[in-house]
Amino acid sequence: MGKFNFIKSDIEDVFIIEPTCFGDERGYFMETYQQEEFAKVGINLDFVQDNQSKSHKGVLRGLHFQYTQPQGKLVRVIKGEVFDVAVDLRKNSDTYCKYEGVILSDENKKMFYIPPGFAHGFLVLSDEAEFTYKCTDFYNADDEGGIIYNDKEIAIEWPKIDCEIIISDKDKNYKSLSETPTNF
């Protein structure tokens, strides 16, 4: 078995990635990124920024993207559990407006690769979650865009949770995909 199991999603260029985890009575070890292995499946962009966030149960972040500096992201959860979503905004894609969603957790250790040209968001399912992601371009607040998380055209099936959803004011004010200019 290789260091990673790259699972192609129904959307071209989007991967769910299972790292090989070596464990014993001391704990575990795994590689979370290896440039040559990722390049073999076509993920050969340079990552230039790493981010980490902590959120409480019910926090929904997204759906975010950057207009002229689109970011590819390699995301994973190091504590807790989230439902992570990538929405295809590439207008010439056969899967335009479609989404892929996956449960990421510290237990399943799965990662999710979201290429440039996608909106990204996640919902925290556990009491709290720590989330890390590598980006292929730098964050630029002046370039940031978003789509409302409950857009009817995209129709994301967010998991039901036993608490109120918490959304930032910025994210609440995003418009639908049809009202949001994108140029990917």
CATH (domain of 125)? 2.60.120.10
Active site residue: 64, 99, 113, 174, which one?
64
Active site residue: 99, 113, 133, 174, which one?
133
Q: How confident is the model at residue 69 (pLDDT cuts 50, 70, 90)?
A: very high
85 within a domain of the structure (yes/no): yes
Q: How confident is the model at residue 134 (pLDDT cuts 50, 70, 90)?
A: very high
95 within a domain of the structure (yes/no): yes
- Predicted TM-score (pTM) of the model is 0.94
* CB of 128 closer than 8 Å to CB of 135: no
41 within a domain of the structure (yes/no): yes
* CB of 119 closer than 8 Å to CB of 63: yes
166 within a domain of the structure (yes/no): yes
26 within a domain of the structure (yes/no): yes
Task: Look up 56 and say whether it is catalytic.
Answer: no
Q: What's the domain count of the chain?
A: 1
Partner residues linked to 65 by β-bridges = 145
What domain range includes position 33? Answer: 4-179
184 within a domain of the structure (yes/no): no
pLDDT of residue 184: 79
Beta strands per DSSP E along 59-159: 60-66, 73-79, 81-88, 99-105, 111-114, 118-124, 128-135, 144-146
User: Computed from CA positions of residues 126, 112, 180, 97, in that sequence, does the dihedral angle turn out positive or negative?
Assistant: negative
23 within a domain of the structure (yes/no): yes
134 within a domain of the structure (yes/no): yes
Task: Tell me the average pLDDT across 117-127.
Answer: 98
Nearby residues of 145 by Cβ (< 8 Å), 6 or more positions away? 64, 65, 66, 67, 180, 182
Above 80 in pLDDT, residue 20? yes
Element (H, E) at 16: strand 15-19
Task: Look up 133 and say whether it is catalytic.
Answer: yes
Above 60 in pLDDT, residue 1? no
